[in-house]
Structure 1
C-alpha cells in the first residue's frame, strides 16, 4: 500500500518537533542547574560560520509547517528574520508548530502533491512539485537542522541521549 504525502511527512515531523521541544526543556534545565544564562545556549553554535541553536529550532519550524505553507502559496523562501532569542519563545514556537501540524487536513496536504511551486532565495529559483519540494528539499533540511540543534546542545555539555533526538516512537499497540 503506498503512503500518502501526509503519512510520509506529518507523523515524523510531529515526532521530531516534539523531541525539539524536549531539547529546549533540557537546555533550560541545564542552564538553571549550571547557573548559565539560557540566552547563551540559545546563541550557541558548533562552528563560527554555522547558525546558532535558536536558528536551528526556527528552521525546524520552517522546513515542516513553514514548508507546507510555502507549497500552499506556491513559493517558499527561507525566513531570515531573527529567531526567538530565548528558550521559552523557542519552546512556544515548537508547540505552535506541533499544533499546526496536528491541524493539517490529510486530504488537503495530499492534494498539494502535484501542485507546482518554487523555492526562491536571492536570485535562485528552483521549480518543484509540492511533493518533490517537501520530500527532496524540506524533509532533508528539517532533519539537518534538528540534528544540528541536538549536536549544539551536546557540544555545550547538555546530557542528551539518542532517544532525546528520536522523541516519542510510534510503537505498535
Structure 2
C-alpha cells in the first residue's frame, strides 16, 4: 500500500487542527471555571523568549495553510494575526480547516519532486515536495500544536496525551 502526498498532508493536518480545537476548548472552560481572565492563558508562554499561546495557534494554522498551497501550486489565503480570545482562535483554526478541505488529491498528489522554495528569516530554503512536507510542514505543525498544549498544561488545564493524539 502506498500513501499519497494528499493523504500524508491534508487529513493529517486537519486531524491535528481538530485536536487543537479540543485543547483550546478545554483551556476556555478552565478559564471560565477557575474565573481566570482568558487573556492570561492566551498570552501565556513557556519561556519569555517564546511565542504566546495565540501565536502558537496562528503559526500552526499558517504552516499547513501555506504548505498545502505551495504543494498544490496555488496562492494561500492570508489571515490577520489579530485573535485575542479563545473563540477567535478556534474560528481561525476552523477557517484553516475549511481552506484545507478545498484541496483535491489531484492538486497535491505528484508533488513529491516539485521544488518548493521559501524565505525563512534571512535564509532561502529549497526542498523537494516530499521533504518539504515531511521535514518542514508536519514537524512545524506538531511543534506548535504541542507547544500550545504545553502552555495550557503548564497553566493548569487538565490535558492528557489523548488530547494531542485524538481519538483513534
Structure 1 length as normaliser, TM-score?
0.87
Q: Which residue of 1 aligns with 2:70?
A: 70
Distance 2:73 2:6 in 1: 18
Instruction: List aligned pairs for 1:31-110, cutoff 5 A.
Output: 31-72=31-72, 82-110=81-109
Q: Which residue of 1 aligns with 2:24?
A: 24
TM-superposed CA distance for 1:73, in Å, is 5.1
| Structure 1 gap segments, 5+ residues each | none
Distance 1:64 1:168 in 2: 21
How many residues align structurally? Answer: 167
Q: Quote the RMSD (CA, aligned, Å).
A: 2.2
Matched, 1:156 2:155: yes
Q: How has the CA–CA distance of structure 1 residues 168 and 102 changed in structure 2, closer, same or farther, with 3 Å as cutoff?
A: farther
Moved over 3 A (4+): 70-76
Which SS does the other structure have where 1:120 is aligned?
strand
TM-superposed CA distance for 1:103, in Å, is 2.2
TM-superposed CA distance for 1:88, in Å, is 1.1
CA contact (8 A) 2:60 2:144 kept: yes
Distance 2:97 2:69 in 1: 14
Distance 1:20 1:99 in 2: 15
Structure 2 length as normaliser, TM-score?
0.89
Distance 2:109 2:84 in 1: 35
| Structure 2 gap segments, 5+ residues each | none
